[in-house]
């Protein structure tokens, strides 16, 4: 076990002074807003909203032979498809040119 030499431990007076500094520097916890009736009403309204999962569904057709590549490769393909679906026409045209030029090589 490693022991600290007594000369580096400090004396009692120094320790008391340091402890007082630490205790005086402690800040109070920030106050928080209490839960009000308005908050409860907002929560109730949000809970009444029906989310239909079909509206959030992303239609991606991954062929069965693609799943043989493994989970990670399949997820990367899904990310690429989602990225392509979210880009604008100019970016899509640029991507198409890059893909075509790569195929020609």
Q: Is residue 35 situated within a structural domain?
A: no
Q: Is the pLDDT of residue 71 over 80?
A: no
How many CA within 13 A on the CB side of residue 23? Answer: 6
User: What's the domain range around 90?
Assistant: 63-104
Q: Averaged over 3-14, what is the pLDDT?
A: 74
Q: What is the DSSP letter of 34?
A: P
Q: Is residue 8 situated within a structural domain?
A: no
Q: Is residue 89 situated within a structural domain?
A: yes
Q: Is residue 38 situated within a structural domain?
A: no
- Residue 21: pLDDT band (50, 70, 90) is confident
Q: Is residue 92 situated within a structural domain?
A: yes
Q: Round to whole Å and give the CA distance between 79 and 82.
A: 5
Q: Is residue 13 situated within a structural domain?
A: no
- Number of H helices and E strands in the chain, helices first, is 6, 0
Number of domains in the chain: 1
Q: Is residue 43 situated within a structural domain?
A: no
């Amino acid at each position: 076990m490693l022991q600290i030499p007594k000369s580096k431990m400090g004396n009692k007076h120094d320790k008391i002074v340091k402890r007082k500094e630490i205790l005086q520097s402690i800040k109070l916890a920030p106050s928080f807003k209490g839960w009000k009736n308005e908050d409860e009403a907002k929560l109730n309204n949000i809970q009444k909203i029906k989310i239909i999962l079909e509206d959030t569904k992303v239609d991606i057709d991954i062929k069965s032979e693609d799943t043989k590549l493994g989970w990670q490769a399949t997820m990367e393909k899904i990310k690429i498809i989602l990225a392509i679906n979210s880009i604008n026409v100019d970016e899509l045209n640029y991507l198409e040119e890059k893909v075509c030029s790569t195929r020609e090589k």
